[in-house]
Amino acid sequence: MAGESGKIDPMHQFQIEPLAQLNIAGYDVSFTNSSLFMILVLGALWLFMWGGMKRDLVPGRWQMAVEGVTGFVNNMLTSSVGPEGKKYVPLVFSLFMFILMANFMGMMPFGIVPGVHPFTVTSHLTVTAVLAVISFGTVLIVGFWKHGLHFFSLFVPHGTPWWLLWLIPLIELFSFLIRPFSLALRLFVAMTAGHVLMKVLAGFVINGLNAEAAWVPLVVSIPSFILMIGITLLELLVCAIQAYVFALLTSLYINDAVNLH
Amino acid sequence: MPQISQILETYASQFFWLLIVFGLIYFTIGHGMLPKIEASMDARDRKIADDLAAAERARAEADNLGDSGAADLTAARTEAQAKSSAAKAKAAKDADARLAKADAEISIKVAASEAELAKATAKALAGIEAVAADAAADIVAKVSGAKVTSAQAATAVKAVMSHG
C-alpha cells in the first residue's frame, strides 16, 4: 500500500499483479489477483446457492435468504418484462449476483492479513465492459431473433409526428447505442470512486497518527475515522445499489427487445 | 489509474478469466442451481394453494353436511310427531271401542240380572202366598174349628195381599 516515499497511493488497490504466468495463442492470460477474486466470487456465490439447495418445504434461514434473492430477481423480471421474462432469470440473476458478490468481496477486510489486499473486480473497466456487452448483446440477439428487422421500429416510438421522423430515430438510436457504455461506466466509476474515497480517508487516519505534532491525530485522524465508518456503510449500500441498477436496467432493456415499446 | 494505464497488458487476462468465471456462474448456477430453487419455491406455493383449496372444499362439504343434517333432523322430528299423534288417535279409538263393548256387555248382564231378580221376587211372593194360606187355614181351624180348604185359603190370602 505504501509507496517508496512513504506516501499512500489510493490507486494501488486497482493494480493488477500476475500471480502465475500463462500464455495462450500469443495472448497474456496470466492468472492475476483479479482472476483470483473472480474465482473467490464464484466460490462464494456457489457456496451461497449450495446452502439454499436443501429444498425443504419449510425453509430454514439460509434457504430463505437464497429464495429471497431468487424471488427478488424473478419479480424484477416479471414486473418489467412480463411472464416472458422468466426465460431471462438465469442471465439477470448471474449478472446481479456476480456484481453484488464482487462488490462485497472488494469490501472485505482481507487487508488485516499482512500482504493481502482485497481486490474489487467490478472496479475494472475491462470487467464492467464485458458484463455490459453481455447485457447489450442479449438485448440485440433477443430483439433480432424475435422481431427480425422489425426490431428497428424500436427507434420510432408510437405517436412520432411525421415531420420529426428524421430526428427522433436518430436520437433513439443514439440513446440505444450508448446503453452498454453507460452500463459499464456507471458500475466502474461508482466502485472506483468509492474505493478511492475510502483509501484517501484511510490515508488521512494513518498519516495523521504518524504525524509528529500531537494535535494532528486528534484533529485529523479521529474525524476521518468516524467519517470512514459512515462512508464504509454508504459504500456497502452502493455495492448493493449498483448491482441492482445493473440488473434492473438489463431487465428493462430486455423488455424493449421482447415487447418493443 | 491502473484500470486504464494497464489496460493493454491486462485486457486479455481479464476477458479470459471473466468469461470462464461468468460462464461457470451462468451455466452451473444460473441454469443448474437456480431452476431447482425456483422449482422448490413453486412446489411450496402450489402445495400451499392446494392445501388451502382442500380446506375450503372440506369447509363447504361440512357446511353442506350441517345443512342436510338439520333438514334430516327436522324431517325426522315431523315424522315422529305424526307417528305419535297417529298412535295417540288410534289408542283413543281403541279405548272408545272397548269401552262401548264393555258397556254393552255390562248392560246385557244387568238386564239378565234384573230379569232373574224379578223372577226370584215373583217366586218368593208366590211361596209367601202359599205359606200365608196354610197359616191362615191353620189359624182358622184352631180359632173356629172350621175346616177351610187350601183353595179357599189361598183365594182369601190372595185377596188380602193384592189389597194390601
What integer is the mean pLDDT of A156-161?
Answer: 81
Pairwise CA distance, residues B96 & B115, whole Å: 28
Nearest to A91 among B13, B30, B43 (CB): B30
Find the range with the poorest average confidence among A12-26, A187-201, B109-123: A12-26
On the question of pLDDT at A176 being above 80, the answer is yes
Give the C-alpha separation, B117 to A229, whole Å: 137
Sign of CA dihedral B73, B78, B79, B81: positive
Name the minimum distance, in Å, from the CA of A20 to any CA of chain B. 11
Q: Which residues of chain B are under the pLDDT cut of 70? A: 164
- The helix, strand and coil proportions of chain B, stated in percent and rounded to the nearest 5, come to 95, 0, 5
- Cβ–Cβ below 8 Å for B37 and A50: no
* Cα–Cα distance, B10 to A251 (Å, whole number): 30
A123: nearest CA partner in chain B: B3
- What is the distance between the alpha carbons of residues B92 and A101, in angstroms, rounded to a whole number? 97
Give the SS3 label for residue A32: strand
Q: Residue A24 is inside which H or E element, if any? A: strand A23-24
For position A5, what pLDDT does the model report? 47
Cell matching residue B95:
279405548
* Partner A contacted by B29 (CB < 8 A): yes
Encode pLDDT of A117-147 as tens digits.
889 999 999 999 999 999 999 999 999 998 8
On whether any CB of chain A is under 8 Å from the CB of B8, the answer is: no
Rounded to a whole number of angstroms, the distance from the CA of B8 to the nearest CA of chain A is 10
How much is the average pLDDT of A84-91? 90
Burial class of residue A217, CB neighbours in 10 A (0-12, 13-18, 19+) = middle
Closest CA in chain B for residue A63: B37
pLDDT band at A3 (very low <50, low <70, confident <90, very high): very low
Identify the pLDDT of residue B159: 81
Q: Is the Cβ pair B6, A15 closer than 8 Å?
A: yes
B19 versus A13: the higher-pLDDT residue is: B19
User: Which helix H or strand E contains A200, and what residues bound it?
Assistant: helix A179-210
Contact A94 B21 (CB under 8 A): no
- Can you give the pTM of this predicted structure? 0.74
**Please, which pLDDT band fits residue A247 given cuts at 50, 70 and 90?**
very high
Could you tell me the pLDDT band of residue A2, with boundaries at 50, 70 and 90? very low
3-state DSSP percent of chain A in helix, strand and coil, to 5: 75, 5, 20
Nearest CA to CA, how far is B70 from chain A (Å)? 40
| Inter-residue contact A156 to A169 (CB < 8 Å) | yes
DSSP 8-class letter at A8: B
**For A57-61, A90-94, A174-178, B145-149, which range has the lowest pLDDT when averaged over its residues?**
B145-149
Across the interface, do A45 and B25 touch by the CB < 8 Å criterion? yes
DSSP code at position B147: -
* Residue B158: partners with Cβ closer than 8 Å, 6 or more residues away: B129
- Residues of chain B positioned with their CB less than 8 A from the CB of A30: 13
- CA-nearest residue to B19 within chain A is A130
A72 pLDDT above the threshold of 90: yes
pLDDT digits (tens, 9 = 90+) for A214-240: 888 888 888 899 999 999 999 999 999
Chain B neighbors of A34, CB-CB under 8 A: 10, 13-14, 17
- Nearest residue in chain A measured CA to CA from B32: A90
Cell of B156: 182369601
**Which residues of chain A lie closer than 8 angstroms to B21, CB-CB?**
35, 38-39, 41-42, 98
Residue B36 contacts A where some CB pair is shorter than 8 Å: yes
Q: Does B28 touch chain A (CB under 8 A)?
A: yes
**Is 70 exceeded by the pLDDT of residue A154?**
yes
Contact A179, A253 (CB under 8 A): yes
Distance CA B19, CA B27 (A): 12
Tell me which chain A residues have a C-beta less than 8 angstroms from the C-beta of B50.
none
> Residue A251 and residue A92: Cα distance in Å, rounded?
7
Percentage with pLDDT > 70 across chain A = 97
| Spatial distance between the Cα atoms of B121 and B60, rounded to a whole number of angstroms | 90
Calculate how close chain A gets to B62, using CA atoms only, in Å: 29
Q: Which of A53, A70, A123 sits opposite B3 (nearest CB)?
A: A123
Residue A245, pLDDT score = 95
User: Residue A221 to residues A112, A114, A216, B117: CA-CA distances in angstroms?
Assistant: 19, 22, 7, 148
HSE (side-chain half, CA atoms, 13 Å) at A111: 13
- Sort A143 into a burial class: Cβ within 10 Å, 0-12 / 13-18 / 19+: buried
- Quote the longest CA-to-CA distance of chain B: 196
CA distances from A125 to A47, A93, A94, A108 (A): 27, 21, 19, 21
Asked whether the beta carbons of A123 and A192 are under 8 A apart, the reply is yes
Q: Is the pLDDT of residue A57 over 90?
A: no
